[in-house]
Amino acid sequence: MVPAKPELMVELNVSRNTLREAIRALIHAGLLKTKQGDGPYVCSSSALGAVLQKRIMRSDTLQTLEVRHALEREGAHLAAQRRTDDEARELLLRLERWEGAVARGDMDGVVTEDILLHQGIIAASHNEILIELYNHIADASQDSITSVTRYETDADFLELHRQLVEAIVDQDADRAVATVHRYIAKSKAVLEVSGGEQA
């Protein structure tokens, strides 16, 4: 929630009209949203996040998955080359949490842990631009990720995620990339069977 207008006017030393125009511009840019009877609130921490969110909302799940493929492929490749020992341990822990959520049938947990696992892999790439871009994509495509992930709980997906983490832990970049190709291809096949939902 953005502070009240009188407070902002004092803090920023601007007139009510200037503040109103600034808020309107930030809403148009997608950085702020308004709710009826409630003031504006922040919906994105950057212009990039806002732009991606708007774009992804107009894209179907398959297109979003194709973008994730490109980012996750490069992320896995770099993570296998650059991950630290602490990051390797963290990825194994995140994998266990994801598998635990699958075993419990906790779909909200599966989605959350899946996102955290993939964000952990991207973080291990040590490429700040890739990390920021992926995190914005993950935030903006939450619904899309949920619609795909709810099908990704069978034994094949479990094994592919384990193979991916193990390849990164073993610092085998080629095997990590090959595994990303396999699970994205399987996700696409699942989407085609389920009718390729809108993001």
Q: Which domains does the chain have, with CATH numbers?
A: 5-43 (1.10.10.10), 49-194 (1.20.120.530)
**Cα 133 versus chain centre, distance:** 9
d(CA 57, CA 144): 9
Structure tokens at 61: 């799940």
- Please state the pTM of the whole predicted model: 0.70
pLDDT tens for the chain, 199 residues: list them.
567 777 766 776 777 777 677 777 666 655 566 766 666 655 555 555 555 566 555 556 778 778 888 999 999 999 999 999 999 999 999 999 999 998 998 888 888 898 899 999 999 999 998 998 888 877 666 665 666 666 666 788 889 999 999 999 999 999 999 999 998 998 888 777 765 544 3
What string of DSSP letters covers 40-74?
Answer: EEE--SSHHHHHHHHHHHTSBHHHHHHHHHHHHHH
